A and B are shown apart, each in its own frame.
Chain A
């Protein structure tokens, strides 16, 4: 019974951790869906959004603002910072690269990553800044059935709820709005979209802004969990296997991919780790991704691309 309880505990915590990875992966999916660009800078955008939020929040609280007002103002300030970032990226990085090869656009986002990481730390500091927006204690479920119960972290559950709301909102945005449809058109072909009058610069600004806002949401959860700090940028590396598994173009795929990676790596660490030295969860996620790549290169939910030769 203890063994099954332990399995359940690891499995549930893995699923919930996976949802948190999905929060970061969603930002990648948005930009890829709308522009065909794999945005390597998404992890650094989470850092920038988190730092802007926590530093403004601390400043406002120190100035005597009530907590609720400080949170609202802090979120607005961070959103403005992400809007400025979106504008700068569109104007000075992507704009001049319209119709360039996907690899060139990808390389440009690597440069954007370094710029954002450096600028964020330069402007807002490199310390660990605690953020306490959600409860961080845990529930202990089924204590009658399993000795000690099944531990479920409240912050992880909050992450799950937020991810669900985000996915629903993004699905509506893409399917039901004019901008959403324009984004999909741009993703298919930059030049064709431009030729039918879709303003590419505006669309790219919107999509980077939305990705920035998703990064801000991810930062509220991850910042509460870890404190806002540079290590948040490493989440981008967690999102990569999630995307490979779920598919680069699917919002639901990012969620399912996150669940598979989260549960898979936690179970592997708990049950395989002791036999092969432990500390395996980082690379195990990539093993899962490799298996999916071999069997279904476009990912479980990705669009199958058929090209005429």
Chain B
């Protein structure tokens, strides 16, 4: 009874859920997890958090940790709120024998706030597929790692896919493309890249904001019904995604002309809308749902031993993304251990690991991620590592991959990265690093 009372009180107050207590032992690498298992974005936050945790458990159970250094972790509930995210960061950054190894807040708002803090604390920020797009530039953002793809990558790939469906890039001319976006730093991120593309390819671009949390979109979709854009890009999160799909269905907008970003392309985004979601497309942050080689190990060492925190979300899109997030983070630590030794490392040492991380095809296969990811390589200058994405479509029961890999057009995006990061450097009085002089 006491246990239930305490658990209820904890749930009611939205306080931390401790996955595996941080014991602060000398030979443990402490990895914090900023999660949201409650609140409006919990349906999307939970599977990601489960994937993150399960992969760490896999390494501990199968390999005894990273090169023998066990992982100690602790979750902190942010509720997707920036203020709580910063509070969690402050609470966890100093834990463990060497402090937090890296942070992954799964929130662009929290990422914006922590980008200001991590240089002082010397802790890397792994923001896989979200955060500041210009943070690809490691010379200006030494502590941010926007691994796998940015929102600008996503915007560019979405336009390339539309061009492919229309029969060529020239056919974009004169078309109307609208962006329905979450009115937050996250939702606003792709606008710069899409405006650039609109100028270049001659289509009309319209950005339509939806206020948090996105449950009221009727006016926006009535406007779309009148305007009849050729395509609608969806940059939503949580409840906003399924609401958009339902509203699109209500106004008769074809779902197969909607393309969501990779944060609008998971199971919780489509299942609440039922059959109305059929035909809806979304970008893939390279991977999709389903089991791959790594899941065989997860089954054997985590799930079958009753140590998985996942329930129905196992091997779903966001669960797999959490697994990949942990793999990239721990591979960065493994890389750093080659230089600093097999012991708990500091954030600064792990940053070196990120900047020298090379996930080759062979290594991806060895880790069990073949079919989920393409090779990627990070450098001092390039903190993104990859610029490719695919497109998937919901058939009413599951996601089907409907395209090959598109590579974002770096001749458009790199100048944007350079320009925006230079502005950031001036604003924050940052002297960019000279990567040619760093080893």
Interface residues of chain A, those whose CB is within 8 Å of chain B, are 2, 6, 9-10, 13-14, 17, 114-119, 121-122, 126-130, 132, 136-138, 148, 151, 153, 225-227, 229-232, 234, 238, 265-266, 269-270, 273, 277-279, 281-282
Contacts and interface: CB of A to CB of B under 8 A. Distances in A.
A122 B8 contact: yes
Chain A facing B: main interface SS: helix
Nearest to A3: B226
A138 B250 contact: yes
Q: Which of B13, B239, B249 has most chain A Cβ within 10 Å?
A: B239
A126 B219 contact: no
Contacts of A266: 218-219
Given A126-B39, A225-B246, 14 more contacts: A9-B225, A14-B218, A118-B8, A118-B13, A122-B8, A122-B11, A132-B274, A138-B250, A151-B222, A151-B225, A227-B239, A230-B42, A231-B40, A279-B211
B12 interface: yes
Nearest to A148: B225
Q: Top 7 A-B pairs ranked by shortest CB distance?
A: A118-B12, A122-B11, A279-B209, A126-B42, A227-B272, A269-B219, A279-B183
B11 A119 contact: yes
Contacts, number: 127
A303 to B, nearest CB: 31
Interface of B: 7-8, 10-14, 37-40, 42-43, 46, 183, 207-211, 213-216, 218-220, 222-223, 225-226, 238-239, 242-243, 246, 249-251, 268, 271-272, 274, 276
Nearest to A121: B38
A110 to B, nearest CB: 13
B250 A153 contact: yes
Given A6-B222, A229-B40, A126 B46 contact: yes
B242 A227 contact: yes
A281 B39 contact: no
Contacts of B40: 229-231, 234
B216 A17 contact: yes
Contact of B215 (A114, A119, A234, A273): A234
A111 to B, nearest CB: 9
Name which of A151, A234, A277, A278 has the most chain B CB atoms within 10 A of its CB: A278
A126 B43 contact: yes
Nearest to B226: A6
Contacts of A277: 209
Contact of B238 (A231, A232, A281): A231
Contact of A17 (B218, B243, B250, B276): B218
Nearest to B182: A279
Contacts of A226: 215, 239, 242-243, 246, 272
A118 B11 contact: yes
Contact of A128 (B218, B249, B271): B271
B38 A126 contact: yes
A127 B222 contact: no
A31 to B, nearest CB: 21
Contacts of A265: 219
Contacts of A128: 43, 239, 242, 268, 271-272
Given A234-B40, A266-B219, A151 B8 contact: no
B219 A151 contact: no
B96 to A, nearest CB: 28
13 contacts: A13-B219, A114-B14, A118-B8, A119-B11, A126-B38, A127-B43, A136-B250, A138-B251, A151-B222, A151-B225, A226-B239, A266-B218, A277-B209
A232 B39 CA distance: 10
